[in-house]
Structure 1
Amino acid sequence: MSGSRQIVCPGCGAVNRVPADKPAGAGKCGKCGNALFSGKPLDADAEMFARQTGRSDIPVLVDVWASWCGPCRMMAPAFEAAAAILEPDMRLIKLNSEVEQEVAGRLGIRGIPTMLLYAGGREIGRISGAMNTQQIVGWARDQLSRAPAAHKAS
C-alpha cells in the first residue's frame, strides 16, 4: 500500500485510491467528481461514519455532538477551524448523537462533546469536553504520534 492511499469521498462515500506522491487536498472523487477535501468537517450519518472510519487510510477525527448541547455549539467553530488545519492529513467528521443514537450508544458515548480519533479502522483516542482549535489540533496530533506505526497514515 506504499504507492497509494484510500480516501473515502465525503459526498458519495466512494473509496478513492490517491497516489502517495499526489497532493490529496487537490484530489477529486473518481465516481462523483466532488473534491475529496473541503477544509470543513463532514456531517456524517451512520453509514458515512462507518465508511470513513473503516475504509479510509487517513486518520478520522470525530466530534460527537447534539444541537441542544451548549458546549457542543461553543466548540463547533473551533472544530471547523481545526479541519482547515488538519486536512488532508486527517478527515474531520461530526456525528449528531441525537440523530444517530444507535451509533452513539454502540460507541459508549456518555457525555458530549466527545472526540474520537480513528486510525487503521480502530479507535485510538477519546476525550470529552469542549476544546479550542489549538487544543483539538494538539490532542489529535499527540494521539496519532502515540499510535502504533501500523495505525498511522501512510
Structure 2
Amino acid sequence: MTSTTNAQPESLHIVCPHCDAVNRVPAARLAAEPVCGKCQKALFTGAPVDLSSARFLKHIERSDIPVLVDFWAPWCGPCRTMAPFYAQAAQRLEPQFRVVKVDTEQAQDLAARYAIRSIPTLALFKGGREVARQPGAMDASNIMAWAAQNNR
C-alpha cells in the first residue's frame, strides 16, 4: 500500500438532512446517492436544508464536508430574490458541500452568535468553524464560484 500526505480520507461523516443521524460514508461513494443508515432517506437532496438552532451545531460540527449557510429572513426582499439561485447552486454543490438555510427570525440566537449584521449573508463552515463570509444577494454561478474559492 502506498500512502500520500494529501490522500482523501477513506470515509466521511455526513449528517442526515432528515433525521440528523451521523453517517459514515466512503469518500468514493459520496456521488453514488448514499442513504442514511437510520432513516433510509437520501443523504443529499439537491436542495437547501432548513436548519433550526437545535440542529445547526450538529450539522456544522459533525459534518466532514464543508457546510454552506444562507442566513436569511422571510421579510427580506433580496433574500427572496436569491432563494431560487441558492436552490440551483445546491443542486450543483452537493455532495461536495452541505447546503443549508437558517431563518434569522426563527434562530435569533444563531444570528447573534455569528454576528449576522445584514441578510442575506453566506457563511462557509469547515470543521465547525466559520472560514468565510459574504453579505449580499448573488446568483447561482456566483454562489458556486464563491463556495469553491473559499473551500481551498
Pick the TM interval, shorter chain.
Answer: over 0.9
State the structure with more CA Rg: 2
The equivalent position to 1:43 in structure 2, one of 39, 45, 50, is 50
CA distance in 1 between counterparts of 2:138 and 2:57 reads: 25
Alignment CA distance shift 1:25-1:114 (3 Å): farther
Pick from 127, 140, 144 the counterpart of residue 133 of structure 1: 140
* 2:124 pairs with 1:117: yes
Question: How many corresponding residue pairs?
Answer: 145
Of 21, 30, 34, the match for 1:23: 30
1:87 correspondence with 2:89 = no
**Structure 1 CA distance, aligned partners of 2:29 and 2:78?**
38
Which of 45, 65, 71 aligns to 2:72? It is 65
Secondary structure in structure 2 of the residue aligned to 1:10: coil
CA distance in 1, matches of 2:41, 2:54: 19
* Distance (whole Å) between structure 2 residues aligned to residue 20 and residue 110 of structure 1: 36
Give the % identical residues: 50
Q: How many angstroms does 1:76 deviate by?
A: 0.1
Runs of 4+ in 1 over 6 A off after TM superposition: none
Kept in 2, the 8 Å contact 1:25–1:88? The answer is no
SS in structure 1 at match of 2:151: helix
Alpha-carbon offset, residue 141 of structure 1: 0.4
Q: Under a length normalisation based on structure 2, what TM-score does the superposition of the two structures give? A: 0.92
Deviations 1:16-63 (A, max 9, x none): 000122234511000111100010000100122111111000000000
Q: Output the amino acid matched with 1:13.
A: D
Where do 5+ consecutive residues of structure 2 fail to align? Answer: 1-7
Q: Select 2:21's aligned residue among 14, 31, 34.
A: 14
Where structure 1 has 5 or more consecutive residues not aligned to the other structure, the ranges are: 146-154
**Which secondary structure state, in structure 2, belongs to the residue aligned with residue 34 of structure 1?**
coil
